[in-house]
Amino acid sequence: MSEQKIKKDILLKAIDERYKSIHIIRERVQTVSIWILGFLISGSAWIYQSEINFYPVEFLAIFFAIICIWISLWRFYFRDLELGFNSQRKVAAKIEKLLGFYSEGYFLEGNEVLYPKDWESSGKRNGKGNFIRNNYILIAVGFALLVVSILTHTSCCNAKIDNMPLSKSTKSIIILNSEK
């Protein structure tokens, strides 16, 4: 067996491992994000539909706890997964380059390349992948929904409807919804 063939076999095995790792990390981020989002939306809906009423001090304590949980998830759990994810993608892109996936005419005729050139910067800051960032945004929206639902059930925010500068029809809708 030639030295080139051995190197190519090693690269193929290495890229297979990188792809498996990328898929595992991606699945883990997605699964955890969906669970967190489910809990946040369920909690928000439960609070919104309940007759529970928080005092401002309770709201501040819950808000502080939510911020601490969000920062902990982001800094310690998701950040670690993101670093691993990007490292795996960088290595995979290097191996793909060595295997000729980005070389013109290597696999396809003419000037065509097998993989788009943008994929070569995968895992780097200038890479176009936003999978983990989009999960951060979804979870942030879930936390925002929870904060809003708690805020709407905080005693300082429940002003009397009669004192609000709203039209009569809007006030009647609010009153009808609050009686449910």
Alpha helices in the chain (DSSP H): 3-49, 56-72, 79-98, 131-151, 168-178
- CA quadruple 115, 116, 121, 122: dihedral, nearest 10: -60
CA 78 to chain centre: 9
Can you list the residues of the chain whose pLDDT is less than 50? Answer: 161, 180
The string of pLDDT tens digits covering residues 166-177 is 566 655 555 555
Residue 65, pLDDT score = 92
pLDDT at 174: 54
Per-residue pLDDT at 101: 85
- Measured in whole angstroms, the distance separating CA 52 from the mean position of its chain's CA atoms is 30
Structure tokens at 131: 């999978």
106 Cβ contact list (under 8 Å, min separation 6): 100, 113, 114
- Residue 136's nearest CA partner among 63, 81, 57 is 81
pTM over 0.75: no
Instruction: Specify the pLDDT at position 53.
Output: 85
Segment (H or E) for 159: none
Q: How far apart are CA 120 and CA 96, in angstroms?
A: 8
Q: In the prediction, which pLDDT does 131 show? A: 87
Domain edges within the chain: 3-178
